[in-house]
Structure 1
C-alpha cells in the first residue's frame, strides 16, 4: 500500500492506494488555491478511476474545495461526513462568512449533501456516491436528511483491502469548548441565533455588524473554530507487535528509494483533520476512544496544519512519525514555531508538506502479513 501526503499547500489531501486497486482519500482541499489540489488529483488518479471512500474531516474550504473536481474526475463510491447539528451548521456558515470563504458548493453541501454531490458526479456514472453521516461520539442525536448514519468507532467492514485485518474507523468529535465560548460572546453582545440566521439569509446588513461579530470571533475563539472534526484511524484491526516494520520513505528528490531514511514505526495512521488536541481532556478523550488502536499507530497527521491552538506535546512522544500540512507562505503562521521547536527538541521525525512538489511524502507499507 502507498500512503501519500500530497503537496497542496494550506489544506489537506491524503491518499492510501492498495495493490488490489482500492483507493481511499482523506480530505480534499486547499486555501493556497483550488488549482493546487486539482493538479494533485489529476497526477494521482486516472480519469474515471474508482475511489472507494472519501473521508471529509470538516466543512472548511481548505478541506473540501477540491471535492467537486474529484467527483467530476473520478468515480467516487462512498463519502463520509461528520454529522452536524443545526447549531453547527449555523456556526459553519458564520465562520465561512467571517473568513471570506463562502462558496456555492459549501452552501449546497450544508443544505442538501446528496443534491450537492449529484451536481458534480461524472455524468457517465449511473449512480451517485453513497453518503454517510458519522454521528458524534457518546451522542444520542438522531440523523436527518438523505445520508446514512453510522456510529463513531464503527469499523467499516465494507471497505475490504488487500491487506489482511486492515480497517478504517471514523470518529466524529464535537468541538464544544470553543464553539460554546463563541456563542456566549455573541449572546453577551446582543446577538442571538435567530438574528445570526437572518443575517446569513439577507445581504441587507450593515458592515459594522459583521466587523463586530468578527471581533467577538477573534476574542472568544482564537485559532480555528470548526464545530467538529472527523478523525479516521487506518491500520491493523488487532494490535500486534509483528505489525511494527520499517517504512520505506519515498522522497521525490532522492535518486533511489533505497537511499531513503528508514525507521521502524507501526503501520497504522491517525488522520486528525483540525481536531482540537491541545487540552489534557481533549487528548485523553481521543486516546481513550482509540485505546484499542493506539498501539498500532505509527503516523499521525498533526491537527490544524501545526497550529499551537490544536497541538498537544504528547504527539511528540516518540511513537509517531508526524506530518504537517501547511502552505509554505501562509498568513496563519502555520506550523507555529513553538510546535516545530517541541518536535525538534525531542528529536521527533516530522515532515512539513507544503505546495512545493518536493515536499510530498509517500510511504510504502508492506501488504504481506
Structure 2
C-alpha cells in the first residue's frame, strides 16, 4: 500500500508519501508560522519516526519554515535539495536576514542544521526547460549512501517488496526571475555586489530598510529564490507499458472534502485510468516556462495527480498540461490569504479540462489522501 497525503497547511506546502514503511516528504512550511501548523507536522508522523528522504523544492519561507519542527519530531535520514551557487546563497541569506526569517542556517550550512550524520544530496540547476528525461539515464539506487551533487533529471530508484518506485527531481534555474529580483533591488537603491559579498553592508544598510525588502519580496513573480525543484514520484515507465502495471487506486479510500456532487460527475472517468498513480510535485514552478509534459514525456502516461504550483497563482499555470486526460489537482492555499489565491480563472480552466481542483487549506478537514494498492 502506498499512501500520498497533501497535508492541510494553508498558504504553504507539506506533502508526504509512505511506501511499505519508507517515508518521503516534499517541503514543509506555511506562511503564517502558526502553532496549528506545528500540530499538523507532528500529527503526520510518530515521534522519532524515520523520514527516509526530505525533498526541498526551494527556500521560500512558506515551503521550509516548518522543517525545523519536522527534524525535531522525526529522524530524517537523507535530504535532497537544490544546489545553490555561492552568490545566490549569500544573496538569499542577506535578504532573509533583513526579513527576520529564521532559516539562515538551513541555507548556509545544511549539515549544521540537520546534523552531521544526515546525507545531503544537492541537485544541480538546469536551464533546459523542455527536453525529455532520457531513457538512457542509469538509475541511481537510493540505498547507496552518499553526500554528493547529482544532475537535474537524475532517476532515483527505490525497490520495495511489492514494487519499484522512481523519484526524479528536476531543478530548473529561472535566470529571468533572478534578473527581475536584481533589477528591483537596484531600483530600490541597493548595491547588488555588496549584497552578495559584504556582510557589513547587509548589517548596516539592508536591515535598516526592511520595508523595502518586504515590498520586493512580494513583487517578484513566484519568489525570490530563482530555483524551484519539481519531483516526479511514480512508477517506472521506461521500456514497459505503464497501463499494464499492477497498480491501482483504492478509490473508496481516496479522501477529500470538496464538492462531492461535482466529483461524482467525473468519478467514473478517473476510475477507468487506474494506472495513473504517479504524481508531479511542482513547488512554485512556473509551468509556462518549465514544460513538464515534455520533460517527463517518458513517464507522463502514468501521471494522475499534479500539484498546482504557487498556491493557484494563474501566472504560474499552463492549462495545456491538462489537455489530454483527467487529473487530480491539489492546491495548497490559505483560506484568508491576501494574494487572491487561488485564481478563479485557474479554477475555471481546471474545470474546463474535466479535471478536479482540490483546495487544501489550513482547515484540518481539507487534507487530501490517496491510497494506492500494488
TM-score range relative to shorter protein: 0.7 to 0.9
Match of 2:281 in 1: 271
- Shift of the 170–218 alpha-carbon distance from structure 1 to 2, 3 Å rule, reads closer
Counterpart Cα distance in 2 of 1:272 and 1:247: 24
Q: Contact 1:34 / 1:66 at 8 angstroms: preserved in 2?
A: no
Counterpart Cα distance in 2 of 1:304 and 1:35: 23
Q: Contact 1:93 / 1:102 at 8 angstroms: preserved in 2?
A: no
> What does residue range 288-303 of structure 1 map to in structure 2 within 5 Å?
288-303=294-309
- Shift of the 269–87 alpha-carbon distance from structure 1 to 2, 3 Å rule, reads same
Counterpart Cα distance in 2 of 1:153 and 1:208: 41
Q: Which digits, 9 at most, give the CA deviation of each residue in 1:54-108, with x for residues without a partner? A: 101011121111111211111111011100112322443355357x3511xx211
Counterpart Cα distance in 1 of 2:71 and 2:29: 13
Match of 1:108 in 2: 105
Counterpart Cα distance in 2 of 1:53 and 1:177: 30
- Shift of the 160–41 alpha-carbon distance from structure 1 to 2, 3 Å rule, reads farther
Q: Contact 1:299 / 1:322 at 8 angstroms: preserved in 2?
A: yes
- Shift of the 108–17 alpha-carbon distance from structure 1 to 2, 3 Å rule, reads same
Residue 268 of structure 1 deviates from its aligned partner by 0.5
TM-score, normalised on structure 1? Answer: 0.82
Q: Contact 2:60 / 2:224 at 8 angstroms: preserved in 1?
A: no
Residue 307 of structure 1 deviates from its aligned partner by 1.0
Which of 309, 320, 325 is the matching residue for 1:314? Answer: 320
SS in structure 2 opposite 1:344? helix
Residue 161 of structure 1 deviates from its aligned partner by 3.3
- Shift of the 218–323 alpha-carbon distance from structure 1 to 2, 3 Å rule, reads closer
Which of 354, 370, 374 is the matching residue for 1:363? Answer: 370
Residue 338 of structure 1 deviates from its aligned partner by 1.7
- Shift of the 283–115 alpha-carbon distance from structure 1 to 2, 3 Å rule, reads closer
> What does residue range 45-56 of structure 1 map to in structure 2 within 5 Å?
45-56=45-56
Q: Contact 1:49 / 1:74 at 8 angstroms: preserved in 2?
A: yes
Q: Contact 1:186 / 1:216 at 8 angstroms: preserved in 2?
A: yes
Between 210-219 and 338-347, the greater mean CA deviation after superposition: 210-219
What's the Cα RMSD here?
Answer: 2.9
- Shift of the 346–48 alpha-carbon distance from structure 1 to 2, 3 Å rule, reads same
Q: Contact 1:60 / 1:96 at 8 angstroms: preserved in 2?
A: no
Match of 1:251 in 2: 255
Q: Contact 2:123 / 2:151 at 8 angstroms: preserved in 1?
A: yes
SS in structure 2 opposite 1:3? strand
Residue 351 of structure 1 deviates from its aligned partner by 0.5
Q: Which digits, 9 at most, give the CA deviation of each residue in 1:228-264, with x for residues without a partner? A: 111110101125112474452533669xxxx985623
> What does residue range 221-232 of structure 1 map to in structure 2 within 5 Å?
221-232=220-231
TM-score, normalised on structure 2? Answer: 0.81
Which of 239, 242, 250 is the matching residue for 1:240? Answer: 242
Match of 2:18 in 1: 17
Q: Contact 1:32 / 1:327 at 8 angstroms: preserved in 2?
A: no
